[in-house]
Each structure stands twice: as C-alpha cells, then as structure tokens.
Structure 1
Amino acid sequence: MKSIVCVKPNEFAVKEIKAPILQPGRAIVRIKRIGICGTDLHAYRGNQPYFTYPRILGHELGGIVEEIGENADGIRSGDQVAIIPYLECGICIACRRGKTNCCTEMKVIGVHQDGGMREKISVPVKNLVKTAGLTLDEAAMAEPLAIGAHAVRRSFLTKRETILVIGAGPIGLGVMAFAKDQGANVIAMDINEERLGFCKSWAKVDATVNGLHKPLERLEELTNGDLPTIVFDATGNVKSMTKAFQYVAHGGSLVYVGLVKDEISFSDPEFHKKELTLLSSRNATREDFDYVLETLSAGEIDIDRYITHRCQFNEMIDQFEGWLLPESKVIKAIVEL
C-alpha cells in the first residue's frame, strides 16, 4: 500500500509499504481523512522536539474500520471512527493517576512512531472512538479540537471569567471556542487582523487585541486595569510565551498550550508578586474527545469554515510547501483518501 514518508527535513517521498495484519486487541482502519497539524509542519521543517526521521506523519485521523475482533466497545467493521493518537503505557505514575495524556512512556502516532499518511493503519481498539452521525472531516478534526478542550479543562476556568487566548491558529481557535462554551469572556490576541476577524465570526470571541499595537494597554482597557485571570498561549513561539507573563492578572494562571523547542525564562520577583500559576497542557484524554464529539454532534462548531484547504492524497506533496506560506492563509488543511 502507498504511504507518504518524511524522509528528512524538507523532503517527502511516496513509498510502498506492507499492509498491516490484524492482531489481537488491535483494529485495521482504512484512513479517509488526515488533518495537517503544526506538529507536521514543524517536523517537515526539522523543528519538532522528540522526533526522528524517516517518519510517516499524520495524527489527526478519521477513517473506516476494516478489520476488528470482538471488543467491549462494540466497534464493528464498517464503523466510522476517530483515532486517539496517544499511546500510553497504562502503568506509569501519570497513567495510574488518570493523566494518560502525559504518560512517561508516551508514544504519539505520527510523532514517535509512524502515523496515518498511508492507506491503512493498525491501532489499539481502545484508541478508537465511534463517530456515527458525524462527517469524516469532523472525525479527523476531533483530535486538534480535543487539544483545545483539554487546555480549557486543565485551566479550571469559571463562567464569566475573562480569559485571553494568544495565537489564532487551529489550536488557539479551539481553546477560544471551548472557553466560550464554558461561559468565559474571551479575548483573542494575534498579529494578523484577518485572523482576528475570523476569531470574532467563528469562535464568537468578545474582543480582539493586535499583538503589534500596544497589547498590554489594550488588555488593561478591556479589563478595567485588571488583566485576564487566565492566559492561554497557543503560539509555540518563545517570544510570545515569554511576554505572556505580563498579560496575566494578579492571582491568575498562564497555560502553555503550544510547545516550543527552546528555553523560556521569566522574572521570579514578578512571578511571585502576582502569585501566578504556570501550567502546561499536553495532548488530550478520551474524556476530551468525548466532549468534542458531543459538541460537534450538537452542531456547535463549524468545521466547514475551520478547514480552509484540502487536497487528495496523491496531491499532498505538491501542496504541502504552499501551505507553509503565510499568503496561503491556511487555518486547517486536510488530505482526503
């Protein structure tokens, strides 16, 4: 069967590989949709932490079960599914505490082991979620949206709390949408006015801030000098993540959703003065996937506008470089099989 392999930074190749064989506790899924994530873009450019080459990318996946044995979840051949790409060990300290998303031996499909840019994939049955009633596009988008949902859940935000989301990419947009769903007053920050407009129309944010135009003053204006009590940084940009400390209210929290291959420093006196809480948010859990799928089933998220670019599997290599360009205005690209 055909696969697309990232052979080394800045190089893809189509390769023939063996089709997977059904094994106990696993299922064979025919891939129908592959979302292109920031992780894929960083891996292609050689900037992704915890990464080795060659690698088959792709972890935002929707497909149809082709082969499966008897299982407690009642999943059958022909069922449409989303794939939870996080393969936890189940026995480490994090897993024992229910934090499977940050397992000490975490293996992410498409990052630590080969992913879904191929015709079929073998995955543990426990990592499948049935998506009956949803589109294949929605099934594939469950994963990036679950990242945002997990960050919101981890922040413990409360209704009517004023929060700031920095970065209006796919993950940041998900954070905004789910924070709104939880009743927060949401401010979006980005340096692209067109993208900020999308935040208003798609995520229904309450206000926007251009990060290039005196953002601290604008935030103070919007919050009567208080500043947001929770700040999410979904940029994966070290400068943004460093600056984010100054935007948090006294007694507030800063949540790093984006990951950067760098070191971040901050002023300890300022950190202590505000008694800030600093959190990271990694991956997602089944609970987050279930919540996202319920939200999608209720028609509360417009996936058609969230996905801005698409192509067929045999066109992806030619299209990929263009998706990296700012002028392409990609929010989310998806590959069809």
Structure 2
Amino acid sequence: MRALQLVEPRAFQFIEIPEVAEPGAGEAVVEVHRVGICGTDLSGYLGKMPFFSYPRIPGHELGVQVLAVGDGVTIIKPGDKCSVEPYINNPESFASRRGRGNCCEELKVLGVHTDGGLRRRFIVPARKLHPAQKLSWEQLALVETLAIGCHAVDRSMAQPQEDVLVIGAGPIGLSVIEFVKLSQARVIVMDMNAQRLAFCRDVMGVRDTILSTGDGKELQELEKLTDGHLAMAVIDATGSARSMSQALQYVGHTGRLVYVGITTDVLSFGHPLMHRREMTIMGSRNAMPQDFGRIIDHIEAGRIDTRPWITHTIPFDNVIDEFERFTKPETGAIKAVIDLDC
C-alpha cells in the first residue's frame, strides 16, 4: 500500500507500507477519502512544529469510511462515514481520568507523533470515530479544524455580548470565529493580511476588523471599538511569539487570554500589566470528544456553513509538487484538501 511520508522538513516521498491487518478488540479499519492540510502540517513541513517527529506520514484532518470493526465495537459499523478524533490518549493516564484526554501525558496525535492519514487504509481505536452519514468527505475532514476553535472558545468562557478579540485569521482563527459567533459574543478580528480580513467581513459576516501594521495603532483601534474597555477575551491563533507576547495589551481588566497557536520561541511580557488587570492566561490544546458531535450537529443543522472553507483540492499524486505553495499566504488558501480518491 502506498503512503506519503515526510522524511524531514521540506522532503516528502512516496513509500510502500504493509497492508493493514485485521482490527483488534475496540479497533476499526478505515479507508481514507480526504485529508485536510492544516497549520500543523505546514509547520511540520517547514520544520517549525515543536511536537512533530520525523520521518512521519502526516494527516490528521480526516474524512474516512469504516471497512471493518473488531470485537466489542458497537458505536460504529462497516460502511459508516466518519470524522476522526486524532488525539490518541491513554484512557488510564492522569489527565484522561480527569476528563482531559486532549492533553494526556502520553498523547500521540495522528500525523504528528504517530503516522496519520496520507495512506489509503489504517487502524484506529473505534472510540476515536464520529459517524456522520449526511456530511461529505470534505466536511468530515473539516470537523477537526473546527473542533480546535470550538475548544479554544470554550476555554475563553466567551459570554453573550462580550467583546472577544481573535488574533490571526488563518484556518484556526476562522474556526475560532465560528464559535465566538455561536456564543453570541461580539467578535473583533485582527490580522496583518488585508485579504484575510476582507474574507472575514465579506464571507463570515464579521463587522469589526483591525489591520495589524505593527505601529501600535492596533490598540487605539481596539479601544475605539470597545469604548476603552478592551476585550474581555483574547484568543491568539497566530503561532507567532511576537504576537503572543503582545496579546496581553489587548486584554481588559479581569479578562482572559487564550493561546491556541503554538510557537517554539520564548514568550516575554511585563508582569505588572497582567497583574494589574488580574488577567487569566491559558493554553488550549486540541479538542474534546464531545466537540466533534457538536460540530457535526451544527453542520447538519446549517448553523455552520462549510461552503466557503474548502478553497483548494489536490489529488494525492500531486501533493509533492503542490504542497509548498500552501506555505505562502499569497496562495489564498483557506482550507486545502487532499483527495485520495483521484
């Protein structure tokens, strides 16, 4: 069976791997139809993802179909279309027993710590599959991206009518925006890319945006929009150490700051600002199992419109030649998807 392996940063190769065995107890064999390309994949490709290990078969945003199930599996059956929750945790770990398997001490994320979906078939714990017969393969692959934003907004405790600032309008930032809107909070988006901000306004219906130019005027713009109170929740989805270090200045008194982006660099900020405003600073890692079901329900009910998301689709055979262009903002990709059926 053919698979696509990232040997080292910027070096893909097609390899032959053994065909999958029969599923064991609690397992399922799945066939992969679509794989989304996300920021983690791009960072892994560029060598900037701290959790990524090489060589690795990437791919964790997956639309799959169940081919076979092992003993004891009742939640899914062969033929089911599913989204994959790619966070393979140890159910007996300390974090998992506290209901936080998303940050399990032994966590292995498909396509990051262990081989992922850029292969036709593989075995996955059945508990990590979320069936959704009504969704397309592309929608199923999009669920995990949306789940990252869903969990980050849950962490932010965004409340109706609160001002929430989302920094970074890439795919993760857009997923955050979706769930800030569903929380009925007021969303304000900041980015240094005018094209992305235009997409937020014209397609996602975000009224208030701030173009980040690095001259300090961003804070003044936010003060104007919030009557001087700043944002009660700030969610930084940039993965930029500079942005993440500066994000505290946008948090109002008693506000919350959530880091959903990841950086390998050290963050630096003055403690008096954080202390004076009695801020809460927190990380948001991956997503929760229940987020997947919520998102599937939202898509099926039409509360989340996935049509604007998928801007590029490439055949599996073309990934090596075309992947590099998705690292460039000028490509204009919101979400690129790899089609394994071509």
- Give the TM-score of the pair, scaled to structure 1: 0.98
Question: What is residue 115 of structure 1 aligned with on the other side?
Answer: 116
User: Once the 2 structures are TM-superposed, how far is the Cα of residue 301 of structure 1 from its aligned partner?
Assistant: 2.2
Question: What is residue 17 of structure 1 aligned with on the other side?
Answer: 17
Question: What is residue 247 of structure 1 aligned with on the other side?
Answer: 250
Question: What is residue 145 of structure 1 aligned with on the other side?
Answer: 146
1:163 corresponds to which letter in structure 2? V
1:43 corresponds to which letter in structure 2? G
Q: Does the 8 Å contact 2:27/2:73 carry over to 1?
A: no
- Could you list the runs of 5+ residues in structure 2 that have no partner in the other structure? none
SS in 1 for 2:50: coil
User: Once the 2 structures are TM-superposed, how far is the Cα of residue 300 of structure 1 from its aligned partner?
Assistant: 2.2
- Cα distance, 1:246–1:77 mapped onto 2, change above 3 Å: same
Q: Within the alignment, does 1:178 sit opposite 2:199 as a pair?
A: no
1:18 corresponds to which letter in structure 2? P
Question: What is residue 210 of structure 1 aligned with on the other side?
Answer: 211
SS in 2 for 1:174: helix
Matches within 5 A, 1:247-266: 247-266=250-269
Q: Does the 8 Å contact 2:230/2:252 carry over to 1?
A: yes
Q: Does the 8 Å contact 1:177/1:204 carry over to 2?
A: no
SS in 2 for 1:82: strand
Of 307-316 and 295-304, deviating more is: 295-304
Output the CA distance in 2 between the equivalents of 1:201 and 1:268: 38
Question: What is residue 314 of structure 1 aligned with on the other side?
Answer: 317
SS in 2 for 1:62: strand
Give CA deviations for 1:287-307 in whole Å, capped at 9, x if unaligned.
Answer: 111111111111222222111
1:113 corresponds to which letter in structure 2? T
Question: What is residue 231 of structure 1 aligned with on the other side?
Answer: 234
Q: Within the alignment, does 1:133 sit opposite 2:151 as a pair?
A: no
Output the CA distance in 2 between the equivalents of 1:134 and 1:27: 20
- Could you list the runs of 5+ residues in structure 1 that have no partner in the other structure? none
The one of 272, 277, 283 aligned to 1:274 = 277
Q: Does the 8 Å contact 2:169/2:196 carry over to 1?
A: yes
SS in 2 for 1:28: strand
Output the CA distance in 2 between the equivalents of 1:202 and 1:114: 35
Q: Does the 8 Å contact 2:33/2:137 carry over to 1?
A: yes
User: Once the 2 structures are TM-superposed, how far is the Cα of residue 71 of structure 1 from its aligned partner?
Assistant: 4.3
Q: Does the 8 Å contact 1:185/1:206 carry over to 2?
A: no
Give CA deviations for 1:177-228 in whole Å, capped at 9, x if unaligned.
Answer: 1110110100000011111111123332230001116100000000010001
Aligned residues: 337
Question: What is residue 299 of structure 1 aligned with on the other side?
Answer: 302
- Cα distance, 1:319–1:162 mapped onto 2, change above 3 Å: same
User: Once the 2 structures are TM-superposed, how far is the Cα of residue 70 of structure 1 from its aligned partner?
Assistant: 4.9
Q: Does the 8 Å contact 2:23/2:68 carry over to 1?
A: no
2:247 corresponds to which letter in structure 1? A
1:34 corresponds to which letter in structure 2? V
Of 9-18 and 325-334, deviating more is: 325-334
User: Once the 2 structures are TM-superposed, how far is the Cα of residue 72 of structure 1 from its aligned partner?
Assistant: 4.9
Q: Does the 8 Å contact 1:180/1:204 carry over to 2?
A: no
Q: Does the 8 Å contact 2:237/2:261 carry over to 1?
A: yes
The one of 276, 281, 286 aligned to 1:283 = 286
Identical-pair percentage? 45
Q: Report the aligned-residue RMSD.
A: 1.1
SS in 1 for 2:154: helix
Give CA deviations for 1:148-190 in whole Å, capped at 9, x if unaligned.
Answer: 0001111111111110000001110011111101101000000
Question: What is residue 332 of structure 1 aligned with on the other side?
Answer: 335
Question: What is residue 196 of structure 2 aligned with on the other side?
Answer: 195
